[in-house]
C-alpha cells in the first residue's frame, strides 16, 4: 500500500481525536459501555468531513453513539479507521453506514482480548515489577517508572494506532474501490460483524432466571430445561424481542425502563 501524506487538516483532526480518545470510560454504562467516548473521539472527524450538512452529521453522530466496548488503546485504532471510512463515505460514497457499523462491531471483540493480554496482563506486570522494587526502598522513581511504562506507553501507542488506522484504512478502501468490489466488501464486513455481535451477545447478555417449579415431590429448574433446548435461549429471545420493538419504533428509554420493571417484578415474585 502506498504511503499517504496527510494534509494539515487531517493531521489536526487526528491529533484532536487522539486527545479525546483518552476519555474511554467517561459516563460508562451497561447499555452502550464506551459509546460516549467514541462519540467524543469521532466529533472532530465528523465536523471536518460533513461540515454544514446537518442531516448527515446527525446520522454520523448517531452511528458513533452505538454500543462500543474494547481496550483503551484499541479504541484509538478503530476510531482512526472509522475516520477513514466516514471520509470515504462522504467523498466517494464507496462505504455506507452499515459497513462502518459492521467493521466497528467486528473489531471491538477480538481487539479487546488481544490488547488486554498485551497491556493489562503483560506490560502492567512488568512495569509494576520494576516499580515495586524501587518503591519498596522508598524511592518515588518506582511510581514514575510505572506511570511511564504502563500509562505513557499506552498513550504513545494510542497516537501511533490512530494514525495507522486512518492511513491504512484509507488506502485499503481506495484499493478495494478501484477494483469495483465494494459491494462484496460490504457483504463480507456484515458477515464478520454479525458473527462478532452474535458472539458478544452470547458472552455478555444474561437473563439470570432462577426459577424452580415444584410440583408435589419433584422440583424442576426451569432455566436448565430452557438451556437444554438451546443454551442461552432466553438471551436470544430477549435480544430479538428488543430488535423487533426497535424496528416498531419503540424508544430506548421505554425499553430500558421496561427491563428494569420486569427485572424487579420478576425478583419480587421470585423468578430471578
Partner 1 sequence: MVTIALKAAFVYYVVYWLDTFILSWQCLTRPIVIAPLAGLVMGDFHTGIVMGAALESIFMGISAIGGAIPADATTSSVIAVAYTILTGASIEEGLAIAMPIGTAMSSFGGLLTPLWASLAPFWEKLAVEANPKKFLIVNILVSFFTMPFVNAIVLFFAVAYGVEGLNSLLASLPVWVMTGLGAASGMMLAVGFAILTSMIWSGDVAIFFFVGYVLVKYAGLGTVPIAIIGAAIAISLFMSDKKLSDLKTSLTNTQVNVNDDEEDFF
Site for partner 1, residues 128 to 187, rule: CB under 8 A: 128, 131-140, 142-143, 146-147, 150-152, 154-155, 158, 179-181, 183-185, 187
27 binds partner 1 (CB under 8 A): yes
| Residues in 91-130 at the binding interface with partner 1, rule: CB under 8 A | 97-98, 101-102, 105-106, 109-110, 112-114, 120, 124-125, 128
49 binds partner 1 (CB under 8 A): no
Q: How far apart are CA 124 and CA 117, in angstroms?
A: 10
| Residues in 202-221 at the binding interface with partner 1, rule: CB under 8 A | 202-208, 210
The contacts found for 256-264 with CB under 8 angstroms, 24 or more apart, are 256/31
Q: Give least dist CB 89 to partner 1, A.
A: 15
- Give phi and psi for 168, each to the nearest 5: -70, -35
Q: Give least dist CB 77 to partner 1, A.
A: 13
Q: Give least dist CB 132 to partner 1, A.
A: 5
Residue (93 or 113) nearer to partner 1, CB: 113
Q: Give least dist CB 5 to partner 1, A.
A: 27
235 binds partner 1 (CB under 8 A): yes
Instruction: Name the one residue in this structure whose C-alpha cell is 424481542.
Output: 241
Q: Please, is 205 exposed, middle or buried when counting C-beta atoms within 10 Å of its C-beta (0-12, 13-18, 19+)?
A: middle
12 binds partner 1 (CB under 8 A): no
| Residues in 63-92 at the binding interface with partner 1, rule: CB under 8 A | 63-67, 71-73
Residue (4 or 57) nearer to partner 1, CB: 57
- Give phi and psi for 254, each to the nearest 5: -60, -40
Among 6, 160, 164, 239, binds partner 1 (CB under 8 A): 239
Across 131-164, b (16+ Cβ under 10 Å) vs e yields beebbeeeeeebeebbeebbeeebbebbbebbbe
Helices 97-115 and 72-91 pack at an angle, to 10 degrees, of 160
- Give phi and psi for 68, each to the nearest 5: -150, 135
Q: Give least dist CB 214 to partner 1, A.
A: 19
36 binds partner 1 (CB under 8 A): yes
Q: Residue 221: beta bridge partners?
A: 212
Amino acid at each position: 500500500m502506498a504511503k499517504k501524506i496527510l494534509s494539515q487538516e487531517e493531521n489536526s483532526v487526528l491529533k484532536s481525536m487522539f486527545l479525546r480518545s483518552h476519555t474511554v470510560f467517561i459516563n460508562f454504562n451497561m447499555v452502550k459501555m464506551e459509546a460516549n467516548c467514541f462519540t467524543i473521539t469521532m466529533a472532530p472527524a465528523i465536523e471536518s468531513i460533513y461540515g454544514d450538512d446537518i442531516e448527515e452529521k446527525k446520522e454520523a453522530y448517531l452511528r458513533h453513539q452505538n454500543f462500543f466496548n474494547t481496550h483503551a488503546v484499541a479504541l484509538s485504532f478503530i476510531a482512526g479507521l472509522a475516520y477513514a471510512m466516514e471520509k470515504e463515505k462522504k467523498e466517494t460514497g464507496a462505504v455506507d453506514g452499515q459497513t462502518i457499523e459492521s467493521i466497528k462491531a467486528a473489531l471491538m471483540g477480538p481487539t479487546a482480548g488481544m490488547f488486554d493480554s498485551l497491556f493489562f496482563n503483560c506490560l502492567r506486570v512488568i512495569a509494576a515489577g520494576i516499580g515495586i522494587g524501587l518503591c519498596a526502598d522508598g524511592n518515588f522513581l518506582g511510581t514514575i517508572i510505572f506511570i511511564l511504562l504502563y500509562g505513557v506507553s499506552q498513550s504513545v501507542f494510542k497516537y501511533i494506532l490512530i494514525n495507522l488506522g486512518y492511513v491504512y484504512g484509507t488506502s485499503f478502501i481506495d484499493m478495494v474501490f478501484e477494483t469495483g468490489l465494494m459491494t462484496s466488501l460490504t457483504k463480507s464486513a456484515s458477515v464478520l460483524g454479525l458473527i462478532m455481535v452474535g458472539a458478544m451477545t452470547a458472552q455478555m447478555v444474561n437473563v439470570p432466571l432462577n426459577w424452580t417449579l415444584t410440583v408435589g415431590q419433584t422440583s424442576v429448574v426451569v432455566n436448565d430445561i430452557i438451556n437444554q433446548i438451546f443454551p442461552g435461549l432466553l438471551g436470544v429471545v430477549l435480544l430479538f424481542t428488543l430488535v423487533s420493538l426497535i424496528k416498531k419504533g419503540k424508544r430506548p428509554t421505554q425499553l430500558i425502563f421496561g427491563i428494569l420493571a420486569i427485572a424487579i417484578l420478576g425478583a419480587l415474585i421470585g423468578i430471578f
